[in-house]
Structure 1
Amino acid sequence: MTWKIYLSGEIHTDWRDEIAEKAKALSLPVEFFAPVTNHAASDDCGVTILGQEPNKFWHDNKSAKVNAIRTRNLIEKSDIVVVCFGEKYKQWNAAFDAGYAAALGKSIIVMHGGSHQHALKEVDAAALAVTETPTQVVDILKYVIKGEL
């Protein structure tokens, strides 16, 4: 079986690449999915494809809906959803992804530093594991998939 893993969350660091590289080094049978991680493309896809909007609300609304087509489908197809919250920005979209995954009954692994513990207590409570590093995420995947510590 190939496990399908959706990697949701911040797009300003290389955490996704680190998880993928470590999983590959362990020969884990996984396939990773992610949102569009090009920030400008993600922010502007709606107006680029569907036409400009003079009001920023509708500009963002168009892009959020176009992005949701990808996000919803990939979360639905995934066995595990990893949600990473970075230190620099508030990732409301990641919190929404975690809630959507929880509503679908998906297994969720959350990753964030200690400074977000209080703000993310509800997200953490819905997760089956709360981690701080990509290595911990991969160690969980190794254990879950191979039964090895």
Structure 2
Amino acid sequence: MTLSVYLSGEIHTDWRDEIVAGCKAAGLDVTVSAPVTDHAASDDCGVAIMGAEPNKFWHDNKGAKLNAIRTRKGIQDADIVVVRFGDKYKQWNAAFDAGLASAWGKSLIVMHGPDHQHALKEVDAAALAVVERPEQVVQILTYVERGTLPG
């Protein structure tokens, strides 16, 4: 069973690489997609492609819309959506992605530390699993693919 997994959320740590490496080490049949994680490219894609904007609102609006094309496609094509909320910044876009995944009936895994537990209680309630570490995501994917528990 090939699983398509979309990795959404914070872009300032290597959690995605940890999940990809863990899946590879476990020999899982998983394809992974993600948003653009180059912060500058993500912020500036709209104006780089469609032209400069003197007003920051419209600069950000163009970028957000282009990024939404990729995000929507990734979430729609995914069997499982993993959304990570990091410690350093508030990821409003990650909350939005979790909402889309939930609304579209996608299997949702949410990842965050205990300090976000209260703030994300509604997001957590929509998830099928809430974890703190990338290796737990790999263990979930292993269980889903093979039906085996961590050894």
The answer to whether the superposition gives a TM-score over 0.5 is: yes
- Indicate the TM-score class for this superposition, using the shorter chain for normalisation: over 0.9
SS in 2 for 1:86: coil
Percentage of matched positions with identical amino acids: 73
Quick one: distance in 2 between partners of 1:44 and 1:109? 29
Q: How does 1:85-96 map to 2 (within 5 A)?
A: 85-96=85-96
Query: Residue 26 of structure 1 aligns to which amino acid in structure 2?
Result: A
Q: Cα deviation per residue 1:57-107 (whole Å; 9 max; x = unaligned)?
A: 110000000000000011000000000000000000000000000010000
Count of matched residue positions in the alignment of Structure 1 and Structure 2: 149
Gaps of 5+ in 2: none
Partner of 1:25: 25
- Kindly provide the amino acid, as one letter, of the partner of residue 89 in structure 2: Y
2:121 aligns with 121
SS of the residue 2:60 aligns to:
helix
Q: Which runs of 4+ in 1 moved over 3 A?
A: none
Q: Give the distance between the partners of 2:24 and 2:102, measured in 1 at CA.
A: 27
Structure 1, unpaired ranges of 5+: none
- Write the distance in 2 (CA, Å) between the matches of 1:125 and 1:61: 30
Aligned to 1:105: 105
State the secondary structure of the residue aligned to 1:23. Answer: helix
Aligned to 2:40: 40
Indicate the RMSD between aligned Cα atoms, in angstroms. Answer: 0.5
Matched letter for residue 110 of structure 1: V
TM-score of the superposition, structure 2-length normalised?
0.98
2:142 aligned partner: 142
Matches of 1:119 and 1:42, distance apart in 2: 26
Which residue of structure 2 aligns with residue 7 of structure 1? 7
* Residue type at the aligned position of 2:133: T
Query: Is the partner of 1:118 in helix, strand or coil?
Result: coil
Task: State the Cα distance separating 1:2 from its structure 2 match.
Answer: 1.2
Q: CA deviation at 1:142?
A: 0.6
Q: Look up the SS of the partner of 1:44 in the other structure.
A: helix
Matched AA of 1:69: I
What per-residue deviation string (whole Å, max 9, x for no partner) do you get for residues 24-76 of structure 1?
00111000000000000000000010011111111000000000000001100
Alignment partner, residue 83 of structure 1: 83
- In the superposition, the TM-score normalised over structure 1's length comes to 0.99
Q: Give, in angstroms, the shift of residue 111 of structure 1.
A: 0.3
